[in-house]
Amino acid sequence: MGKPGSSPEEFARMTGRTRMRNKTSLRTSTRRRKKVVPTKIRWCSDIIVDLMRQYDFPYVPLNPGSSYRGLHDSMVNYGQDDPQMLMCPHENIAIQIAHGYAKATGEPLVAIVHNLVGLLHACMAVYYAYIDRVPIFLIGATGPLDTAQRRPRTDWIHTAKVQGNAVRDYTKWDDQPHTIDDVPDSFARAYSAMMTEPQGPVYTCYDATMLEQALPHAVAMPPLASARVPSRMAPDPAELARIAEMLVAARQPILLADWTCRAPHGFAELVALAEMLGAGVVDIGARLNFPNRHPLNMSLCAEAALKDADLIVALDARDWEKVTTRQDSATGKRVSLVPKTARWVEISFADVEISSWSTDYQRRLHSEIKVLADTSLAIPELSRQCRRLLARSAGAGARIEGRKRKLERLHRRIMRTWARRAKENWDSRPITTARLASEIWNVIKDEDWVLASSNLNGWCNRLWDYDQPYRYSGNALGTSTQIGTALGAALAHRNKNRLVVDIQPDGDLMFDPGALWVAAKYSIPMLVVMYNNRAYYNDWEHQIRIARRRGTPVERAYIGMDIVDPEVDFAGLARSMGWHAENRIETGDDVAAALRRAIAAVKSGRPALVDTLTQFR
């Protein structure tokens, strides 16, 4: 290998810049890269740029920090801003962009945060990525660890002993390599841990002094031919055969799906399994798992479908309890919707993603069979085994067809019910959430659209047609996540010319309004429709429940919850950051025209916002 200052050709060979593609990679990007610019002196931080390029990261959202100024210089001048940096005004926004991008594509981004204080700003976003099983390669810096190199005060208060402790409980792995020779293996291990199912964020931290030093010698990079990620986790064949036998023999099987279709092919595979068996599907919604208008989709009538179930198959369903029980919000008492005689089986990662810190694992599912496996492998094999058994089962075809007809009637009835209820208070002012969902759908239904976050309290699920796996990225997370993740989804779909729609809660945008500036700066077109109910109403409802339970005045529950006096001019805010924006709309009749003007702006390459004043629910 060459030494610092060797020929460009030697350094290209040394760092993998020959662009040979790793055949085991899940990545398929063919984007053209700018050439690196070798200089007489190579810097240690150049190696990290080489690694980001070797592992095909296309973008790096970041908030600037002096701790990684050496790496920043290498990205700008040695790497020629490839991968492209996306400067974000807050660390949460940077990580949420990576979060939304990964949900939309299955591919990770690098996100970079400043020494300690930047990492602490980022903690909430990292946690949400962890519980949402999203791969994010988080990079930070520390020190200088050599205290003789530190600036008075600033470098001391921005340095901690083992920074990874701040996020260790909700990342899959963290590391702080001590020398530049340690960095490539650390990077490769972090990538593998991040992308191995169940996926999640990782954190690597580098000494600021090391990043700024001249490269002392050639550094061995991960071999291009080495596997980046291990193979998927296959199910136990004997246990899967038992589940197939139970499915074929069942009178009324129900499939619960939560993370099942995190890979796009899972969508069609789950449809094929359900149609073969005539099984109802309840989509819990961590990802879009099943077309919402398919006649076997029981998500909107789960209680009616579950009451007759004799077999529940939980497919990567961590939040199984939400849809199979009914809970009194005042007393907390839970009642099962599933008959006591029903049998339960499970195929999931439940016992390998468990945390000793966060209880996101939720209540344990006591099932008759528990298969530890990746459903992307288990479902096609389960379909194959069921098909073989059905071919030998006399009378199975008639039983399945009868079951399908029953579930189809139930599905049609609930869809008609919701369509009728959507018309209630149609001309109300402010706009009902059902009317707003209807107006948006009527305008976008002929577009190649993507819903990036909020579903308007379920009304989009009831009225829209989720016919492709990319239409909806899954249920929204907590406050201060949606604008950033929607921006990441818009970035992911930008080159596909899809119309990305973010139905944006007002309280959520108040946390991270700087995300609007990022969209304008980097020409990320998206349509934001404000769900502007002028309140943190989810919490307001909790206060109403407490007031009723305690006998305190319900009319005082709004205190500390409303977003009025003054009300926020979201259209003005968006315009100030370079967006096309439509002023506040209070009546349903005015929504469609404003949406069409906004969509025209989006198609021209600009982000656009329509501020709609809505009822609370």
Least confident of 220-229, 316-325, 355-364, 524-533: 355-364
Query: For the segment 282-316, what is each residue's pLDDT rounded down to a tens digit?
Result: 999 999 999 999 999 999 999 999 999 999 999 99
Q: Are residues 14 and 116 in the same domain?
A: yes
Q: Alpha-carbon torsion 460, 562, 512, 431, what sign?
A: positive
Q: Are residues 167 and 253 in the same domain?
A: no
pLDDT of residue 159: 84
Q: Are residues 204 and 257 in the same domain?
A: no
Number of domains in the chain: 3
Using the 3D structure, point to which of 384, 418, 452 is the last residue of a domain. Answer: 418
Closest C-alpha among 228, 145, 202 to residue 179: 145
Structure-token pair, residue 205: 């931290």
Of 353 and 369, the structure prediction assigns the larger pLDDT to 369
- The model's pTM is 0.92
pLDDT of residue 329: 67
Report residue 561's pLDDT band, with 50, 70 and 90 as the boundaries: confident
pLDDT of residue 28: 37
Residue 16 scores a pLDDT above 60: no
What is the crossing angle of helices 433-444 and 591-603, to 10°? 40
Mean pLDDT, the chain, integer: 91
pLDDT of residue 27: 39
Q: Are residues 375 and 435 in the same domain?
A: no
Q: Are residues 169 and 241 in the same domain?
A: no
d(CA 569, CA 527): 17
Give the mean pLDDT of 82-92: 97
Query: For the segment 442-456, what is each residue's pLDDT rounded down to a tens digit?
Result: 999 999 999 998 899
Give the mean pLDDT of 100-122: 95
144 part of a folded domain: yes
Q: Are residues 445 and 558 in the same domain?
A: yes
Give the mean pLDDT of 331-335: 82
Of 451 and 538, the structure prediction assigns the larger pLDDT to 451
Using the 3D structure, point to which of 212, 229, 264 is the last residue of a domain. Answer: 212
Query: For the segment 411-443, what is each residue's pLDDT rounded down to a tens digit?
Result: 999 999 999 999 999 999 999 999 999 999 999
Give the mean pLDDT of 350-355: 85
Q: Are residues 472 and 564 in the same domain?
A: yes
Least confident of 265-279, 318-332, 591-605: 318-332
| β partners of residue 281 | 255, 297
218 part of a folded domain: no
Q: Are residues 369 and 475 in the same domain?
A: no
Residue 25 scores a pLDDT above 60: no
d(CA 143, CA 149): 9
Burial label for 272, CB within 10 Å (0-12, 13-18, 19+), is middle
pLDDT of residue 2: 36
217 part of a folded domain: no
CATH number at residue 171: 3.40.50.970
Report residue 608's pLDDT band, with 50, 70 and 90 as the boundaries: very high
Query: For the segment 462-511, what is each residue's pLDDT rounded down to a tens digit?
Result: 999 999 999 999 998 888 899 999 999 999 999 999 999 999 999 999 99
Neighbours of 6 (CB within 10 A): 16
pLDDT of residue 20: 32
Q: Are 203 and 98 in contact (CB under 8 A)?
A: no
Please report, rounded to a whole number, the percentage of residues in the chain having pLDDT higher than 70. 94
Using the 3D structure, point to which of 196, 212, 228 is the last residue of a domain. Answer: 212
Of 280 and 318, the structure prediction assigns the larger pLDDT to 280
Q: Are residues 366 and 505 in the same domain?
A: no
- Secondary structure class of 523 (helix, strand, coil): coil
- Secondary structure class of 134 (helix, strand, coil): coil
d(CA 285, CA 173): 27
Q: Are residues 303 and 175 in the same domain?
A: no
d(CA 447, CA 449): 5
| Parent domain of 19 | 8-212
Residue 580: which region, alpha, beta or left (left: phi > 0; alpha: psi -120 to 50)? beta
Q: Are residues 410 and 479 in the same domain?
A: no
Q: How many CA atoms lie within 13 A of 212 on its CB side?
A: 15
Q: Are residues 309 and 350 in the same domain?
A: yes
Query: For the segment 34-67, what is each residue's pLDDT rounded down to a tens digit?
Result: 888 777 899 999 999 999 999 999 999 999 998 9
Give the mean pLDDT of 316-322: 92
pLDDT of residue 31: 58
